[in-house]
Structure 1
Amino acid sequence: MLQSYPFPAVLGADPDAPGGLDDMALALILSTISPGIGGVLVRGEKGTAKSTLVRALADLLPDIQVIAGDRFSTDPAEPQPLSPDGPFAADAAVETRPVRLVELPVGATEDRVAGSIHLERALSDGAVHFEPGLLARAHRGILYVDEVNLLHDHLVDLLLDAAAMGRLTVERDGISVTHQARFVIVGTMNPEEGELRPQLLDRFGLSVEVAAPQDPALRAEVVRRRLAFDADPEGFRSRYSLAEEALRQRISDAQERVAGVELTSAALLRIAEVCSAFGVDGMRADIVTARTAAAHAAWQGRTDITVEDLRVAARLALPHRRRRNPFDAPGLQENELDELLPPEGPEDDPEPDPGGDGGDSAESEADSTGADSGAEPGPAGGGQPAPVGAGEPFRARLFTVDGVGEGQAGRRSRARTTAGRRTGATPLAAAGAGIHLLETVRAAAPFQAVRGRAGGRLLLRAEDLRRAVREGREANLVLFVVDTSGSMAARERMRQVKTAILSLLLDAYRRRDRVAVVTFRGDGADVALPATRSVDVAARRLDDLPAGGRTPLAEGLIEAVELVRRERLRDPGRRPLLVVITDGRATSGADAVARSRRAADYVASQRISSVVVDCESGRMRMGLARTLAEHMGADHVWLAQVNAEALTDIVRGATREGAA
């Protein structure tokens, strides 16, 4: 049997060690004490023990009692159990088992997550047979979603809805099944791979930031423990068995105590004041903060709420709810919290603040990266022009890839996906979503006589099953190819260009795309940002783009095609959309214009859907960007027409003139 790493052996996860629990360990424990908190989202770079700590958490939880043979882990003490395997006899056998940790893979389908009707048995036997999904298995346990930011939005919605409601209803082909689904959901993610939408962030009860320690002594201790565990897992676990048992007992005691914690009117008023002061939307923040404060009091062995309980709850429940757009870094400054909830003195609060000051890290990182893209840069020394910041983003015009793809579900281009309107049916093994009853019956009907049917039930075989083929929208790779040469370096023009790119990045974020940036200036082209879902990283890179020098247009297009080639090998189903932002003037080399047109023809030969955003301005225009678009087989739009609202105004104006 595979041995899991002991929870107290993770640095920051032993309450008896100096410094106590860090924010991640504390948030996980509080969520198991009070599952109504709504789970935990752990944000951090790779290699920070996120998965290790989550998997170790299940070993700390007390065993549970379930009705023997029930696939839905029904509690024998439940007065009215909601299980498709019921009803159960009053003297039904009971068994005790450990709490389950159910891991949900990123590529899971909705049927795998929620469960589905066994259609073949339903048609052949005339009875409903429900095949439980991962949420049924996770009932009364922990549901762990690694890389939750890479999971499609509709599945994240499904998980969080089930976690909030405590039950799940599955409807397939007119049949409805409801079962309980109460679990602690834990999601981990690397922000470099893209963010969750603010609406989904808000659905997680608590959020914490984690990072690898920088102290060499601590890093050496991490390595020492891991090597010791790999060499002798059983012996290593035995060294922490007493600490694990003490932690397990403390959690069990807190679970029994939490219902008796008193949330006074004064405590609720303080919570409301804090949430209002931090400007969070809705009431979920207040409810989660109250539940977290009560769980922390129970964890500390108390039944009364103190200021320290409120501070811990605010630090864990509010930072991720302060975001107003995807380019805002989540975080909560400790000095802001001090003004609203001054820490108690040593005589009132002898135990140090568990988790330290983890709320400052995201804000500090945001400050150091210069995320304020609207700031006006001052003059730079050494004769080098300072990068120009972008203006306020606008609603961007929608650009799509031609044809119908088969990529991951998103919100940009037409594609055959798991959701959308039904356009046909295919055999069960083929791509598609949702078993289609009518097409299944139609496929089986011609063979009924051969199969010996003389009446009664339909004789169905596995090869008769048909899935629905649906057309919806897919996510794409949006590759920005940006001219940052001297002809584009005029301050106001570069501001307009960066504002347009920022607006298109925001649009890509909402449509769940991956983005990449290639720039060209001087003698060549560079990949300023490899393909990523993290549009906030792209926005920060955009703010630092320098400008000046010659225009190696051909090199920029060739570098873009090469990046597309690499991404097609990595993710063949994700179709690219090339957005070239330039005035079309190629000035690098003696035959720059001819080479740029040959490069444009090369782009066209690769069948890459493209858009050329023409940045040429002034009364005397050469039309080079339009010619470039013709060679690429690309759509040609003026820079001003990237703004959807400005384009609407242009169309309305033309309509009014025509009517006049």
Structure 2
Amino acid sequence: MTQFPFSAVVEMADMRLALLLNAVSPAIGGVLVRGEKGTAKSTAVRALTSVLPAVDVVAGCRFACSPAAPDPQCPDGPHEAGAEAMVRATRLVELPVGSTEDRLTGSLDVEAALTRGVTSFQPGLLAAAHRGVLYVDEVNLLHDHLVDLLLDAAALGTNYVERDGVSVRHAARFLLVGTMNPEEGELRPQLLDRFGLTVEVAAPREPAARVEVVRRRMAFDDDPDAFAVRFAAEEAALAERIAAARSALSSVTLPDHALLQIADVCAAFDVDGLRADIVMARTAIAHAAWEGRETVGTEDVRVAARLALPHRRRRNPFDAPGLDEQQLDDALGEPEPPDDDPSPTPPDGDPDGGGDGPERPVDAQPDSGADDTAAAPEQPTAPPEPRDAPAGPGGGTQAAAAPGETYRIRRLEAPGVGRGAAGRRSRAETDTGRVLGSRVPDGRLRQLHLVATLAAAAPHQRARGRRGPGLVLQRDDLRDARTEGRESNLVLFLVDASGSMAARKRMSAVKGAVLSLLLDAYQRRDKVGMISFRGGAAEVLLPPTSSVEAGAARLTTLATGGRTPLEAGLLEAHATLRRERLRDPDRRALLVVVTDGRHTAGGEPGRAAELLRREGVAAVVVDCESGPVRLGLAGALAGQLGGSAVQLGELAAGSLAEAVRTWREAA
């Protein structure tokens, strides 16, 4: 099948350069390509193999050993000197999001072990990708334990398998490429750091570039072979340049001043650890080889910093990756020589060179215009217990309050044992985790429980006429391992945005609490959703998604005002959870209602609360009522939902976690 030519990709200069530098030096550690959907991420990655040089492999070796330097511990070896060799194109191996651990790393050949009594290793995708490209589309959706295995193998260049009585190691050196859409969720920071380079891609905004993209794509779809011929010369030139850069890589010199620049840049951007320094050094060397230089220079260090540092500067999971170009220039700049001659005094004796600027008192602050308002301390604009504002045009909207301080909270667990997607929150039956026992498989065998299978088959060996070392095994003997791990959940926030919530200090505390829960959901790989209700209706601000960053953005801009349609909010939450249950029936939900319990528009909330309770939705109500006289409406709502309530005043200093977890006891 003809691939879209790599040299025909329009623009996307950073992505193409990052891929090419890793092709020159796979030791860089791979590339993570982040970008919106439809930006040719997968197209460019799949096209890369067409410009990579062919590889020599030992004929018949399943692990792609090089005839010049075969792996002495190759499971198919040892290979004799002068072993028959063959030349093949560089492979692109794709790792599907739903892969299992044994498919990735390899496993015991169960059939050979049980029927012939021999231990045989069945290679996985890591073996197939050796000396090639391993591509993971939507890497942010890959199970965490698979990402750990994948990145460990990429860092070590070796795959170790210790399972099912098999102890095997084999070389696994490959170019690792991952692509992802940030809207569908982020990678954990520690996993993000394991990718050598990261680039952000977006569709071109210039009409001429967009027209060229469409023109090339349509020409390729109409006649792929003819389109490939148009770019054959450019593809051949790229392949020759990659081969030449690989050959020159070992002769490129990294001088001390370049190493000092790398250290200065990493220190200036306050990156954690030393991996960034190592990756930058390897990238700078690869870039110098790519440009045909024998010594690493400042420009090579600059390119390395632009590709290796953006994703390592994040201090908060909601921080977007990025690099300040001016800060980079300052870190790379040579120190200015001291000026022996004192600078002349500016006109009018102004030491700052202010010239004829207006005079101001010594203690006066600079005029910052609109920034003074933003920097000034917030003044209360509403009484302690404001009334609902009329839901006129705009719904009586008031400006959005900034979220308060965030804090660490404890794990919120759904009761019982679920069967949802792998994560870090609630107990669940999973394909990986602690082995609790065995069971008869219901359909496909997921993970063999070897001891239980042997125990089931042993009593029948004489009756089955067993002869020799192998077992006489039947389908009914097979046993699945029953394992327990952790699952991720759906946390749905239902936020009262009516006029009674408009007090700035109160809303800031509420937003701080919700943002803390969002941070926890990010770390535990949950999906999140957000609904607000005000005026006369409820609105889905954020449909259930893995992108908690989007939830944080919606929360920050949430304004308040209008009446309180509590029933509408609960009904919208019920409808949202029902739709999500159809899409993902195994994922359990936790509903967090943030309100003072009032309902001044629509019907009584009891019927809607009963709908949620009958469907077993776990709920907690954050009670935002304040003042000397309290009606206890939020507590009554919690009772109707079958959950528990927590006072707004208990949200500070991490107490939210303890209060929210009480819903489990009430469930």
TM value normalised by structure 1: 0.88
| Farther-moved stretch of structure 1 (90-99 vs 518-527) | 90-99
Q: What is the SS of the residue equivalent to 1:328? A: coil
Q: What is the SS of the residue equivalent to 2:320? A: coil
Aligned to 1:10: 9
Aligned to 1:286: 277
| Farther-moved stretch of structure 1 (233-242 vs 401-410) | 401-410
Instruction: Describe the shift of the 1:179–1:489 C-alpha distance in structure 2 as closer, same or farther (beyond 3 A).
Output: same
Task: Using the TM superposition, give the Cα deviation of residue 448 of structure 1 relative to its aligned residue in structure 2, in angstroms.
Answer: 1.5
In structure 2, what residue type is equivalent to 1:614?
D
Matched, 1:437 2:450: yes
In structure 1, what residue type is equivalent to 2:472?
L
Instruction: Describe the shift of the 1:375–1:98 C-alpha distance in structure 2 as closer, same or farther (beyond 3 A).
Output: farther
Q: In 2, distance between residues paired with 1:80 and 1:399?
A: 48
Aligned to 2:138: 147
Matched, 1:403 2:416: yes
Aligned to 2:173: 182
Q: In 2, distance between residues paired with 1:406 and 1:301?
A: 55
Matched, 1:636 2:645: yes
Does the CA contact (< 8 Å) of 2:56 and 2:87 recur in 1? yes
Matched, 1:164 2:173: no
Q: In 2, distance between residues paired with 1:374 and 1:582?
A: 29
The one of 134, 138, 144 equivalent to 2:125 is 134
Instruction: Describe the shift of the 1:649–1:405 C-alpha distance in structure 2 as closer, same or farther (beyond 3 A).
Output: closer
Structure possessing the higher radius of gyration over alpha carbons: 2
Does the CA contact (< 8 Å) of 1:374 and 1:389 recur in 2? no
Question: 1:60-459 to 2 correspondence within 5 Å?
Answer: 60-78=51-69, 80-342=71-333, 384-427=397-440, 430=443, 434-453=447-466, 456-459=469-472
1:573-598 per-residue CA deviation (whole Å, 9 max, x = no partner) reads 21111111111111114xx4xx2011
Q: In 1, distance between residues paired with 2:61 and 2:493?
A: 54
Q: Which runs of 4+ in 1 moved over 6 A?
A: 373-380, 647-651
Aligned to 1:359: none
Task: Using the TM superposition, give the Cα deviation of residue 80 of structure 1 relative to its aligned residue in structure 2, in angstroms.
Answer: 4.2
In structure 1, what residue type is equivalent to 2:31?
V
1:552-587 per-residue CA deviation (whole Å, 9 max, x = no partner) reads 111101101111111112112211111111111111
Q: What is the SS of the residue equivalent to 1:586? A: coil
Aligned residues: 608
Q: What is the SS of the residue equivalent to 1:203? A: coil
Does the CA contact (< 8 Å) of 1:207 and 1:317 recur in 2? yes
1:460-502 per-residue CA deviation (whole Å, 9 max, x = no partner) reads 2344232211111100111001111112111111111100000
Q: What is the SS of the residue equivalent to 1:551? A: coil
Does the CA contact (< 8 Å) of 2:574 and 2:612 recur in 1? yes
Instruction: Describe the shift of the 1:69–1:79 C-alpha distance in structure 2 as closer, same or farther (beyond 3 A).
Output: closer
Instruction: Describe the shift of the 1:138–1:493 C-alpha distance in structure 2 as closer, same or farther (beyond 3 A).
Output: same
TM value normalised by structure 2: 0.88
Aligned to 1:604: 613
Does the CA contact (< 8 Å) of 2:409 and 2:657 recur in 1? no
1:230-257 per-residue CA deviation (whole Å, 9 max, x = no partner) reads 0010000000000100010000000100
Aligned to 1:565: 578
| Farther-moved stretch of structure 1 (280-289 vs 396-405) | 396-405
In structure 2, what residue type is equivalent to 1:186?
V
| Farther-moved stretch of structure 1 (301-310 vs 639-648) | 639-648
Instruction: Describe the shift of the 1:453–1:261 C-alpha distance in structure 2 as closer, same or farther (beyond 3 A).
Output: same
Q: In 2, distance between residues paired with 1:443 and 1:649?
A: 46
In structure 1, what residue type is equivalent to 2:412?
F
1:210-265 per-residue CA deviation (whole Å, 9 max, x = no partner) reads 00001111101100010000001000000000010001000000010011110111
Does the CA contact (< 8 Å) of 1:374 and 1:391 recur in 2? no
Q: In 1, distance between residues paired with 2:297 and 2:150?
A: 33
1:325-372 per-residue CA deviation (whole Å, 9 max, x = no partner) reads 2111110021111112249xxxxxxxxxxxxxxxxxxxxxxxxxxxxx
| Farther-moved stretch of structure 1 (419-428 vs 255-264) | 419-428
Q: In 2, distance between residues paired with 1:212 and 1:649?
A: 45
Aligned to 2:365: none
1:36-57 per-residue CA deviation (whole Å, 9 max, x = no partner) reads 0000000000000000000000
Q: What is the SS of the residue equivalent to 1:313? A: helix
Q: What is the SS of the residue equivalent to 2:193? A: helix
Matched, 1:45 2:36: yes
Matched, 1:502 2:493: no
Instruction: Describe the shift of the 1:485–1:397 C-alpha distance in structure 2 as closer, same or farther (beyond 3 A).
Output: farther
Does the CA contact (< 8 Å) of 2:397 and 2:560 recur in 1? no
Does the CA contact (< 8 Å) of 1:418 and 1:432 recur in 2? no
Does the CA contact (< 8 Å) of 1:500 and 1:639 recur in 2? no
Q: Cα RMSD (Å) of the superposition?
A: 2.2
Does the CA contact (< 8 Å) of 1:377 and 1:386 recur in 2? no
| Farther-moved stretch of structure 1 (394-403 vs 475-484) | 394-403
Q: In 2, distance between residues paired with 1:107 and 1:375?
A: 51
Aligned to 1:461: 474
Does the CA contact (< 8 Å) of 2:457 and 2:473 recur in 1? yes
Does the CA contact (< 8 Å) of 1:425 and 1:439 recur in 2? yes
Structure 2 unaligned spans of 5+: 335-373, 382-393, 661-667
Q: In 2, distance between residues paired with 1:171 and 1:32?
A: 30
Does the CA contact (< 8 Å) of 1:396 and 1:644 recur in 2? no
Aligned to 2:350: none
Does the CA contact (< 8 Å) of 1:376 and 1:388 recur in 2? no
The one of 551, 569, 574 equivalent to 2:587 is 574
Does the CA contact (< 8 Å) of 1:254 and 1:301 recur in 2? yes
Q: What is the SS of the residue equivalent to 1:229? A: helix
Q: In 2, distance between residues paired with 1:620 and 1:256?
A: 80
Q: What is the SS of the residue equivalent to 2:60? A: coil
Does the CA contact (< 8 Å) of 1:433 and 1:470 recur in 2? no
Instruction: Describe the shift of the 1:3–1:548 C-alpha distance in structure 2 as closer, same or farther (beyond 3 A).
Output: same
Q: What is the SS of the residue equivalent to 1:527? A: strand
In structure 2, what residue type is equivalent to 1:269?
L
Aligned to 2:542: 529
Q: In 2, distance between residues paired with 1:490 and 1:79?
A: 71
Q: In 1, distance between residues paired with 2:657 and 2:248?
A: 60
Q: In 1, distance between residues paired with 2:467 and 2:6?
A: 63
Does the CA contact (< 8 Å) of 2:264 and 2:332 recur in 1? no
Q: What is the SS of the residue equivalent to 1:529? A: strand
Structure 1 unaligned spans of 5+: 14-21, 344-372, 652-660
